[in-house]
Structure 1
């Protein structure tokens, strides 16, 4: 299924999209924000990207036929360490030349009605580094509520956690 907005198309990515996805995540700014820069072994990066492309929640954001960004949806880990199909985590990124265009706001706004219609999904959690002012503003515009702030144990940077109730 493809979701169309005024300027974009959002669809599930797969292994056929690997070359474009790898190029997108290779941007220094994208790699840093998404944590890809923490992986120094090129084979590990390829493996991680291919795992993401195999996941059903990996969605591409297209302007025309060009992949300009992605939205990743993962089931949160619930009680007992098992995936919780009622609560998802959302992360996202855009090619730097598409920043400050409203594309991510448009893409997530287009996706939300689909997520709301999925009867099992009750909420979305988003984690964002606190120095990423644009992403913080985006989550607030989309009515995500601030839940907590913490230090990321892997990268040592402050991040804020937001939640959006879908039901």
Structure 2
């Protein structure tokens, strides 16, 4: 289990399906994070089972209430060792709207980034956000991520219809950012 002052990250459990269902029925999470739609508890339970099987998928738990308030994940970017993909991860994250603007996502991402660089020995962490999700972009930039490019998925298929901005964080950028934060 990974933790900080106000939150902890733990593996997702089947009992979390009710919370996943709540998020899966709210259009806001589809529009801001691309979260999957769920129409019933059975679908959410299947999703909880899938999250459980992913090595680096975590529920964000508020310590005070012991409630699941979000998700954070590290994904494989590929398994091509020669291309260096084994030492890179993609970062995904989502926070319940009732907990926005409290610094909790910044805290959760700090935990998972430290874990990725210190324990997993990753050399790059990539994160993509919908182009209109300025709040997530601001969090990434605050943590030292640098904007690299925008992918226009509308050019791939009219049914996809969105753009995604991609950001990159390296250990050097992370440790530089953390040193700046401890000096101020």
In the superposition, the TM-score normalised over structure 1's length comes to: 0.83
- Per-residue CA distance 1:16-68 (angstroms, 9 max, x = gap): 4333333344332123333235x577566653443123212111111131000
Q: Could you tell me which runs of 5 or more consecutive residues in structure 2 were left unpaired when the two chains were aligned.
A: 173-184
Q: Do the aligned partners of residues 9 and 45 (structure 1) sit closer, same or farther apart at CA in structure 2, a change above 3 Å counting?
A: closer
In the superposition, the TM-score normalised over structure 2's length comes to: 0.76
Show the counterpart of 2:7.
8
Work out which of the two has the higher radius of gyration on C-alpha atoms and give 1 or 2.
Answer: 2
Structure with more of its chain in helix, by fraction: 2
Determine if contact 1:24/1:68 at 8 Å carries over to the other structure. Answer: no
Which structure has the higher relative contact order (CA within 8 Å, separation 6+)? 1
1:98 Cα deviation from its structure 2 partner: 0.9
Structure with more of its chain in strand, by fraction: 1
- Per-residue CA distance 1:108-159 (angstroms, 9 max, x = gap): 1122222221254211110001111101101100101111111134631121
Aligned length: 164
Q: Could you tell me which runs of 5 or more consecutive residues in structure 1 were left unpaired when the two chains were aligned.
A: none
- Distance in 2 (CA, whole Å) between partners of 1:161 and 1:74 is 14
CA RMSD of aligned residues (A): 2.7
Q: After TM superposition, list the pairs within 5 Å mapping 1:118-137 onto structure 2.
A: 118-137=119-138
Task: Determine helix, strand or coil for the equivalent of 1:77.
Answer: coil
- Distance in 1 (CA, whole Å) between partners of 2:129 and 2:35 is 15
Determine if contact 1:18/1:53 at 8 Å carries over to the other structure. Answer: no
Task: Determine helix, strand or coil for the equivalent of 1:101.
Answer: coil
